[in-house]
Amino acid sequence: MPASERPEPDAGTGAPPRPGRPRGIRPARSTAAARRGRMPAALVVVAILALAVLMLPLVALVVRAPWADLPALVTSAPVLEALRLSLVTATIATVVCLALGVPLAVLLAHSADAPAPLRRLLRAAVTVPLLLPPVVGGIALLLLLGRRGLIGGWLAETWGVTIPFTTGAVVIAQVFVSMPFLVFAVEGALSGADRRVEQAAATLGASRWQVFRHVTLPLVAPGVAAGAVLCFTRALGEFGATITFAGSLPGVTRTLPVASYLALQSDPDEAIAIALLLLAVAVAVLLLLRDRWVPGVRA
Amino acid sequence: MNGDGCLAGTFTARRGDLAVAIDLDVAPGRTLALFGPNGAGKSTVLAAIAGLLPLEAGRLRLGDRVLADASSGRVLAPEARRVGVVFQDYLLFGHLTVRDNVAFASRMAGASRRASREAADRWLERVGAGGLAARHPLALSGGQQQRVAVARALAAEPDVLLLDEPLSALDVEVRVDLRRELADHVRGFAGPTILVTHSLADAAIADEVAVLEQGVVTQRGTLDDLRRAPATPYVERLVHAAA
């Protein structure tokens, strides 16, 4: 907690003049539009093309959806089974991410005082799962927790526990891919907050744990909430690591994305219906977060 | 309170490039004003006393309790010092009501929510902010926030009171009234008080003034001493400006 960064007021009196607007020619009005400047027409065209790349697939999904059969499709037994499994596993994964990820975010925020190599290592450890293809995560999880894995062998021999291809494996895969979202959301909120209130709390007799519990957590609560929502959404959509590490057993590991992929071979309408369901969740999350929290999330 | 209750010590504390060396001895019921220009290291001294900044050298005690000793490495954590601080920008808790801000210390010490809130209401009455209890602190005016910050610090029943430019963020109109009120609170406080300020008018609250310039104490005495015989151009300039 850098007490040293506490600013003195009017420290600028002895400082060199701020580099600002040129003294001679000034814009007539300082409207928001004037500050943004004018955009070349070519950029506008390319930007619209980019928008099309992002939106057209979703438009196709909505246009080609079997709207008439939709109620029957999304309430069919296999879809409901996959939906239930997805909701349960993503919820558990989010709770696990909260329990593990918030302390990690605090550690990351405190690592500002640590030596640079350690700090970079810590940050890389959180970032890599974010950049990794989820399938690679699934293979890595197999090598750790599989029957002959680094820990999995010992778990099987000593305790008779096998993790792969269980509902537990689905949760682990989801935690692996979604925790970085939570960690970076909370860390972003921490670094954006005025942490000096923690010092104020300490002078009022609050122990480190009390400061964390009664000041720091409420301070970053919006970041924690935003992180949890992103985390849940990512867990709900998890496919690559899940199918690699947990497989596709109906009712056990066949989550919505896995079910959708498999249905594409046998019953495309069902696949589209599930895809719409997942799209609806994404839109709901967007509406929930709006602009309030997303800009603060550095993921 | 143990021993003589004096806040005493000779120490150096560093923040950034500026090392501040100071020699303190403030008796219970007495108030020292740390007076000087911005960037002289006044807040650094307060941070060191509150335990928010380590001592680079030297020692600090409160009565017979060692707060920090750089040579032996003994350091008392801020939460164990019983040093109350009114911060320059108050640092009220935005997620709590005014009442719960003032009840915070009592809650952390393990008192019940009800008892803490009742005590908080009494403190708020005492600082003239009784009507603000249910309000959100960050929606208050500067003067109101200042009153709440004073109540919050005093409600913790500290052994030492530190005031960091408690009036500097306020408008001129409210400043005079609040200075008088603050002087009353300081007089009513039993322990040693240190007031940081860059205003001679605010320094009048104190019994003694220490002028801090560039991390060094350049003059010590009463406000009258300073007025009679300013020891540095800085003090002289301010005395003349005020006259």
Cβ-count burial B212-227 (b if 16+ within 10 Å, e if not): bbebebbbeeebeebb
* Residue in A166, A165, A144 with CA at minimum distance from that of residue A155: A144
Indicate the residue type of B39.
Answer: G
List the alpha helices (DSSP H) in B8-135.
42-50, 98-108, 113-126
Three-state DSSP string of B99-139 = HHHHHHHHHHCCCCHHHHHHHHHHHHHHCCCHHHCCCCHHH
pLDDT tens, A141-155?
Answer: 999 999 889 999 999
What is the distance between the alpha carbons of residues B104 and B102, in angstroms, rounded to a whole number? 5
- Separation of alpha carbons B176 and B138, rounded Å: 23
Chosen for mutation from A203, A208, A213 (greatest number of chain B CBs closer than 10 Å) is A203
**Do the chains contact at B51 and A202, CB–CB below 8 Å?**
yes
Q: Look over chain B and give the mean of its residue pLDDT values, rounded to a whole number.
A: 93
**B27 and B192 Cβ atoms separated by less than 8 Å:** yes
pLDDT band for A292, please (50, 70, 90 cuts): low
Nearest C-alpha in B relative to A196: B91
Q: Which residues of chain A are within 8 Å of residue B53 when distances are taken between CB atoms? A: 3-4
Put simply, whether B192 touches A (Cβ < 8 Å) is no
Q: What class is the A70-293 domain?
A: mainly alpha
Estimate the crossing angle of helix A221-237 against helix A77-110, to 10 degrees: 140
Which among A135, A172, A134, A132 is positioned nearest to A152, based on CA atoms?
A: A172
- Mean of the pLDDT values across residues A225-240? 94
| pLDDT value at residue A193 | 87
Reference A164, options A137, A146, A144; nearest CA is A146
Spatial distance between the Cα atoms of A61 and B91, rounded to a whole number of angstroms:
51
C-alpha gyration radius of chain B: 18
Which of B45, B67, B79 to mutate against chain A (most A CBs within 10 Å)?
B79
Mean pLDDT of B183-187: 94
Q: Complex ipTM, two decimals?
A: 0.93
What percentage of chain A reaches a pLDDT higher than 90?
71
H-state helical runs in A75-216: 77-110, 116-131, 134-145, 152-154, 167-192, 196-203, 208-211
Task: At B40, give phi and psi (nearest 5°).
Answer: -80, -15
For residue A145, the SS3 value is helix
Q: Measured between beta carbons, which residues in chain A are less than 8 angstroms from residue B109?
A: 205
Helix H or strand E encompassing A245: helix A240-245
Backbone CA torsion sign across B216, B217, B219, B223: positive
Q: Which amino acid is at A86?
A: S
pLDDT value, residue A8:
42
Does the pLDDT value for residue A34 go beyond 80? no
CA distance B78 to B177: 31
Q: pLDDT value at position A25?
A: 55
A20: its two tokens: 């600002």
Chain B residues with CB under 8 Å of A4 CB are 15-16, 53
Dist. CA B119–CA B137, nearest whole Å: 18
Selected residue with higher pLDDT from A296 and B213? B213
Pick the residue with more confidence: A200 or B242? A200
Q: What is the mean pLDDT of chain A?
A: 86
Q: Is the minimum CB–CB distance between A199 and chain B shorter than 8 Å? A: yes
Mean pLDDT of B156-181: 92
Residues ≥6 apart with Cβ < 8 Å to A83: A74, A256, A277
Residue A21 distance to chain B (closest CA, Å): 27
Q: Which of chain A's residues have a Cβ under 8 Å away from the Cβ of B83?
A: 203
CA angle A283, A288, A290 (to 5 degrees): 90
Helix, strand, or coil (residue A230): helix
- Cα A95 from chain centre: 13
Give the lowest-confidence range in A1-15, A208-222, B173-187.
A1-15
Considering just the CA atoms, what is the radius of gyration of chain A in Å?
24
From chain A, the residues in CB contact with B88 under 8 A are 9
Distance of CA B213 to the CA centre of its chain: 19
Q: H helices within B70-214, ranges in order?
A: 98-108, 113-126, 142-155, 172-188, 200-203
Residue B171: strand, helix, or coil:
coil
pLDDT at A103 over 70: yes
* Rounded alpha-carbon distances, angstroms, from residue B9 to B27, B40, B45: 12, 19, 11
Write out chain A residues lying below 8 Å of B168, CB-based.
9
Q: How many CB atoms lie within 10 A of CB A45?
A: 10
Nearest C-alpha neighbor of B191 from the set B106, B81, B111: B81
Structure tokens at B59: 């020692």
Count of residues in chain B: 243
What pLDDT band is residue A39 in, cutting at 50, 70 and 90?
confident
The CA–CA distances, whole Å, from B131 to B90, B120, B143, B223 equal: 19, 12, 14, 36
| pLDDT bracket for residue A43 (50, 70, 90) | very high
The residue of chain A nearest to residue B91, with distances taken between CA atoms, is A197
Nearest to B91 among A14, A200, A214 (CB): A200
Three-state DSSP state, B33: strand
The verdict on a CB contact (< 8 Å) between B93 and A10 is: no
